[in-house]
Chains A and B, each alone.
Chain A
């Protein structure tokens, strides 16, 4: 599984100064455990995965990346099939000093990954943790703690 982190500064077509980090947590027996992997530089072969996750959910695409000065890192995490993971994407927009969190819940399959829940930039939901808790079978309180820890 890939987790992306990014720093991007650009002025065209809109000014943007953003830092994005992804934290991944394994969901096991109703508990959540932080995952770590091996970090490496972003490659052309990562573009589609990057866009599937960051482009679709946050709205920062590879085209945005080449529009400015950017540093993109990839963390590769080894997981076994049937593992359930919640990713927390934190986006810090330095120009507006706004921080936004996005959640993506993923199930690892033999053949790849299946997204079972995802936030989206177009929808503001106050009951997101509740929905996520339902999808993952994790107590909402535990997710709240996790969200506050990041």
Chain B
């Protein structure tokens, strides 16, 4: 198959038009040959300037030193993380491009609190690439990576029916089509299941827009065959809005939940899919397929909407399982003044949620992702089997659970003593690790569970027939997916995931990342290497295994430009579903039609009248 590997101006590429019907073994062989050619090259793709240590000014308090990439040239730099004015900042100095300073975490006290929950992962015994370069230029996963993957992302296509102004990834802008064949997808998924001792159980099919693939159900089927027990579909929801059968088909094929972009409740804050979301939700309802809303939060754009987004989620809690806020990751290069208009971090969003929900969801209600490692540690001690453990960096994510009753929002912390419960689990796990009987420790946990629950303050639907106690007991006795699923069906999960960018990039966070992408050459790359150092990872790997636009048109008989969506706003806002979904959240009638149209067009989505 080496004839398919071409080198154009030092760029390694395959002729994917020739590979599209290749067998698993052929694809594996090409991927293995391509892998070393696609790795970032020291001195060519990046330089190393670790001896330059940024200084601290008066009034700045050192938190720690770390490494970070230069936003201009990707050189690896020493960075300092420090406190100033109650916030945490990162600063680095590139000998070629000067100093960069960025907000790292918007609340220094919350940083200290979250840090207490950090747990170090045990890494992977089986990895995909040898250790030959410095972190983060050796991703694949390399043997020094600290966490095992909890969620694998696979890009099913870079074709997209939208052309959002800030996105660089879709086919019509990048100038190539990346769309791996089904056998290639199987190869990648098998690669993602290589790691030991813990294999990622969850897969997200993403894009581009994955619903553009006619063989999407085959991809889902393959994911199940390759051992993924949780499959989520990341989508803009446009196709789901117009094709009720699609929701049914993907549900039947094995999708557990849909991750749907949802940046705000109005056309101004969510020009991406404001008009289509109600119809997509109705179709998902009919298919009994739950959805997590995913708002990207930008300070001067939609930070004002975060409370309303939660209210929207609670209003449709019959089908909306969660809201996963993603504080903006700044793509491309941007001057500092511009960045300041956009930059928000996890504490900023949490503070705004507290304000916008009138204190019903307080900042103390949120816990950093690694806090739940105590549960995994206990289950691992009881079962003797390595468990999925969320050992990602504490600054990467946070979460809580809420319920709504008689208009009142009830966070989990109102009726479960979370800190005491987690400490208790850690204590029991340690006893087992030191030789105590597993059965005795488990019995003790089950018997004492009630001690950590204040049932009087719990939502009524959890109190009925001892539902909450039964659910918790099931989680610890059965420790299976179904028990956790039961819990998630009765609540609204609120998450926060701050993916990095070149300005706040921290190697300490990358090296602990547990959300990975599997690439066409079989490497498995942490999210914030894949998307942040995207020219060396995402872009290079996808381009290497891509069709030219011309080849794609010849093979499919369709131009990628034909995929682009045109919006009929008049029809969408006239529908009953539109009013039903937004009623009580926004004043629908106060928005002039012209505003709808302007919002859509400004975002890059054309509007049609017919």
Contact = CB atoms under 8 A, between A and B. Distances in A.
Interface of A: 10-14, 44, 47-48, 51-52, 55-56, 59, 61-63, 66-68, 120-123
Interface residues on B, range: 35 or more
Interface in B363-413: 386, 393-394
B135 A12 contact: no
Given A12-B115, A122-B123, A67 B64 contact: yes
Given A55-B131, A56-B143, 6 more contacts: A12-B64, A13-B115, A13-B393, A13-B512, A63-B67, A67-B508
Given A44-B50, A61-B135, A66-B65, A13 B511 contact: no
B190 to A, nearest CB: 21
Nearest to A59: B123
B217 interface: no
A10 B144 contact: no
Contacts of B81: 12
13 contacts: A13-B115, A44-B51, A48-B131, A48-B133, A55-B143, A55-B144, A56-B131, A61-B135, A63-B67, A63-B135, A63-B511, A66-B67, A68-B64
Contacts of A67: 64-66, 508
Contacts of A120: 123, 125
A44 B81 CA distance: 21
Nearest to B64: A12
Contacts of A61: 135, 144, 146, 511
Interface in B541-599: none
B90 to A, nearest CB: 13
Contact of B122 (A14, A51, A63, A121): A121
A91 to B, nearest CB: 13
Contacts of B63: 12
Nearest to A61: B144
B78 interface: yes
B195 to A, nearest CB: 10
A122 B197 contact: yes
A142 B498 CA distance: 52
Contacts of B386: 122
A53 B63 CA distance: 27
Given A12-B64, A14-B119, A67-B66, A122 B124 contact: yes
A53 B532 CA distance: 27
Nearest to A66: B65
Contacts of B132: 48
Nearest to B132: A48
B144 A51 contact: yes
Contact of B78 (A10, A55, A66, A122): A66
B134 interface: yes
**Residue among A12, A68, A123 facing the most chain B CB atoms (10 A cut-off):** A12
B126 to A, nearest CB: 10
A47 B131 CA distance: 11
Interface in B1-56: 48, 50-51
A47 B121 CA distance: 21
Interface string B101-138: 00000000000000100111111110000011111000
A48 B144 CA distance: 10
A45 to B, nearest CB: 10
Nearest to B386: A122
Given A14-B120, A63-B66, A47 B134 contact: yes
B432 interface: no
Contacts of A123: 125, 197
Given A14-B119, A44-B48, A52-B131, A63 B507 contact: yes
Contacts of A13: 64, 115, 118, 393-394, 508, 512
A103 to B, nearest CB: 14
Given A10-B64, A61-B135, A66-B67, A56 B119 contact: no
A65 B507 CA distance: 12
Contacts of A11: 64
B331 to A, nearest CB: 25
A131 B463 CA distance: 54
B199 to A, nearest CB: 13
Contacts of A52: 131, 143
Nearest to A96: B430
Interface in B152-210: 197
A122 B127 CA distance: 13
Contacts of B122: 59, 121-122
A13 B369 CA distance: 13
A99 to B, nearest CB: 15
A122 B133 contact: no
Interface in B250-270: none
Contacts of B134: 47-48, 51, 62
B592 to A, nearest CB: 50
B274 to A, nearest CB: 38
Contacts of B65: 66-67
A125 to B, nearest CB: 11
B133 to A, nearest CB: 7
A55 B130 CA distance: 12
Contact of B123 (A10, A66, A121): A121
Contacts of B143: 52, 55-56
A56 B131 CA distance: 8
A15 B137 CA distance: 27
Nearest to B53: A66
**Residue among B51, B143, B512 facing the most chain A CB atoms (10 A cut-off):** B143
A12 B81 CA distance: 10
A121 B391 CA distance: 15
